[in-house]
């Protein structure tokens, strides 16, 4: 097995795949959106440009978007695997992927304003670890761009202005307001990761984890599944459209998770993922063999 790639090499390839291509469900939804828009409208042309760009990026193996985002990573690992080493390998992979222009040098020292130059820094990449019973390591990653990250928001219910109480109707009102506030600024058409409950930190984590769900994934909770569909349909009547140019394709998907909460708190937290919804995954077996996940 001399030619088996090292774990760092596998992680570099994982990053490359995330940066230069879109998952099939996202690309399919963009194509469906394009077909739904009026011929030669700004919306239709914007989606056409987007789809042409995705094809180009894939063809030449170069980043879809110059903002290659924060790598947010979830790693499941068996007992006994060093998480410290996994994180070190991932950090090294981000450095190598940056040197190879799969990623932009995207970490800035917040105090000095100086770019670290190698894509890693305090809190970047952001890695979650969870031990599980399988003997393989599974890594799932999203690249979360800054423009969409700035559209993320957190509501504290009840909200008098929105007439949003502590129930699913209140959640609906808050999420629709978030879509309105974002307009096209998060690079619409986007995907929303939503968390009901939790605290201010755990909730944002959950919104990002929701973004790992493929668009076709149906929420196991039927009430939430219905809410996801309703908010998606209603948001697409707002007329914001691709890039905020107007049109019917404002969102591609809505994914809602739940965490329990303190009696005093009821947060509705929203992460906005841009149309360049870059996610990738890999499963590495105990022998080091990598299998790419969709």
**Out of 4, 49, 83, 85, the residue judged to bind another protein by CB under 8 A:** 49
Q: Count the residues of the shown chain that bind another protein, applying the rule CB under 8 A.
A: 55
Summary count for the chain: helices (H), strands (E):
8, 9
The vertex-89 CA angle with 85 and 93, nearest 5°, equals 170
Query: Shortest distance, CB of residue 246 to another protein, whole angstroms?
Result: 5
140 in Cβ contact with 211 (< 8 Å): no
The mark string for 74-113 relative to another protein (x by CB under 8 A, - otherwise) is ---------------------------x-xxxx-x----x
Q: Which is nearer to another protein, 106 or 205 (CB)?
A: 106
Q: Which is nearer to another protein, 162 or 258 (CB)?
A: 162
142 vs 68: CA distance, rounded Å: 10
Contact 188, 240 (CB under 8 A): yes
Task: Choose between 163 and 200: whose C-beta lies nearer to another protein.
Answer: 163
Q: Would you say how long the chain is, in residues? A: 294
Query: Residue 193 or 244: which CB sits closer to another protein?
Result: 244
Burial of residue 50, with CB atoms counted within 10 A of its CB: 0-12 exposed, 13-18 middle, 19 or more buried: buried
Minimum distance of another protein from residue 50's CB (angstroms): 6
Which residues does 247 contact at the CB level (< 8 Å), separation at least 6? 37, 38, 41, 42, 43, 44, 46, 239, 240, 241
Q: How far is the CB of 126 from another protein (least distance, A)?
A: 19
Can you give the binding site for another protein, defined by CB under 8 A?
A: 42, 45-46, 49-50, 52-53, 56-57, 60, 62-68, 101, 103-106, 108, 113-115, 117, 145-147, 150, 162-163, 169, 173, 176-177, 180, 183-185, 187, 234, 237-241, 243-246, 274-276
């Amino acid at each position: 097995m001399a030619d088996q790639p090292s774990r760092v090499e596998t992680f570099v390839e994982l990053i490359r795949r995330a940066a230069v291509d879109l998952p099939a469900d996202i690309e399919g939804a963009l194509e469906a959106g394009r077909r739904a828009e009026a011929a030669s409208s700004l919306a239709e042309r914007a989606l056409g440009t987007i789809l042409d760009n995705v094809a180009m990026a894939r063809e030449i193996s170069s980043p879809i978007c110059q903002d290659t985002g924060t790598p947010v990573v979830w790693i499941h690992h068996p007992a006994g695997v060093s998480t410290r080493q996994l994180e070190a390998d991932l950090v090294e992979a981000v450095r190598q992927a940056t040197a190879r222009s799969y990623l932009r040098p995207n970490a800035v020292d917040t105090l000095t304003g100086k770019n670290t130059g190698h894509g890693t820094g305090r809190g970047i990449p952001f890695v979650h670890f969870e031990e599980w019973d399988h003997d393989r390591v599974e890594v799932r990653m999203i690249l979360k761009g800054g423009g969409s990250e700035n559209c993320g928001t957190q509501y504290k219910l009840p909200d008098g202005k929105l007439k949003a109480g502590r129930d699913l109707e209140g959640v609906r009102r808050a999420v629709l307001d978030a879509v309105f506030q974002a307009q096209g600024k998060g690079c619409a058409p986007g995907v929303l990761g939503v968390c009901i409950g939790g605290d201010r930190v755990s909730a944002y984590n959950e919104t990002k984890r929701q973004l790992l769900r493929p668009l076709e994934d149906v929420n196991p909770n039927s009430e939430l599944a219905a809410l996801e569909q309703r908010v998606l349909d209603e948001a697409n009547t707002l007329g914001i459209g691709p890039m905020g140019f107007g049109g019917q394709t404002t969102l591609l998907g809505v994914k809602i998770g739940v965490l329990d909460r303190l009696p005093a708190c009821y947060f509705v937290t929203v992460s906005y993922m841009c149309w360049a919804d870059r996610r990738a995954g890999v499963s590495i077996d105990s022998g080091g063999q990598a299998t790419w996940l969709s």
